Structure 1
Amino acid sequence: MRRHSLLTSCLASVLAGCVGNVQLPPATVAAGSPGVGRVFGSIGVSSDAPTVDFSSIQFRPASADRTRRQGEFLFYSPVGVMGAVLSLVYRTPVDFRDATAHGTVFVATLPAGDYELVSIMVGNAPMGGWAAHFYEADAGAVPFRVEAGGLAYLGRFVSHLRMGRDAHRVPEVQGAFFTVSNRLADDLAVVKARGEAQAGDSVVDFAPRMMQADNAALRPAAP
């Protein structure tokens, strides 16, 4: 578990120019370059965790140096005044909302090749978004591949808090995890509406693989 000031994180990221629901690893090529493809999916927060304001899934090239900075897919949920500000600053709009969750749809352009999801981080801000406890978990190394000119779908990732009790049997948050489901049709519709995919684009669906991970960080959503 780590503790951070969200205000400090916000200012640091703005000054660095790091905003948006995808943070890419260093030396990532631009959209339109030859030999690149796109990866997309959605990330959000469960309705049973209304104080979660930050949800992140980290990924890296499969062949990357393990000390190299990772990329991430992230969502800032508008929790309280500070959460609302961060959601706007980081440009993570609410693209889906239902009785169980809400979140954003992400799209990233990456060089063709093999990648892996490696970890998660979830921020819980019970004080109206002004401060947060951050919980991390190891996702192992769940692989996916980006083909040149293609689309790779990862799934819908919804963050939850793992509850337990302290030594005095008082309820407390003891960690976090994501459930993964396959919402390809819904998420692809959002991507197409943005003009980031066309009707004839080929899509490789990696959501079933993500749902099979079933570890401390990733669990299959209930049917």
Structure 2
Amino acid sequence: MTKKRLKHIDRQKQIIEIAKELVSEGGVHNLTIRKLTKKAGITEAALYRHFNSRDDVVINLIKEVNEKLIETIKSSINSDGNSIDDLEKILNLHYSSIELRKGLSFIVILQASEFESQEIRQAGNNLVRSYLKIIEDLIYLGIKKGEIDRTVEPESASMMFFGIVQVSVTRWIFDPEHHPLNEKSKSLWNLFRTSLEFMDEDLELHRVPFQSNTNREK
């Protein structure tokens, strides 16, 4: 890789990091070319050498957020542990990150749909789909291991989990003082956990080896 190409990549990374700061401070709509260039200490012409437009910056930001989010979630999952415990760990991780104003992922997801750009909307959709797939697979694993009620539909449960996080983020963004996430996390988690667990009278049923009617390899 040439030095010129390396410098281009480094500058792109720097601009994306600044974009993250701006979004964390005031949402995606706080991300403007003027603010980017001012914070980066470069001219607009210099910025356009690395990105074609503001939309291009947003798309690359979403891709970066996607990679970091998936990486963080996967590192939280213990393949030898309990799937329900892993889900709780992921939820608490989200809440702690958001309250430290690092909950960039869900702010971006929330606001990506507001853009007219089809490319931005698609990038946001890809982020959501990647996230849901990991949660869905974790729930399916829990069913297979006999930790989660086998009547639970993994796709629906993953959407429910995502919804809990997203609505919490939305309320917190508008009024963080009156909707502290750490106070709500336990009650929300208990509600979700109850929907996953099976009753004691169903214990014998869950001792029978699980057989799925769907092809998870698709």
| TM-score computed with the length of structure 1 as normaliser | 0.29
Q: Which has the higher strand share?
A: 1
Q: Which has the higher helix share?
A: 2
Greater C-alpha Rg: 2
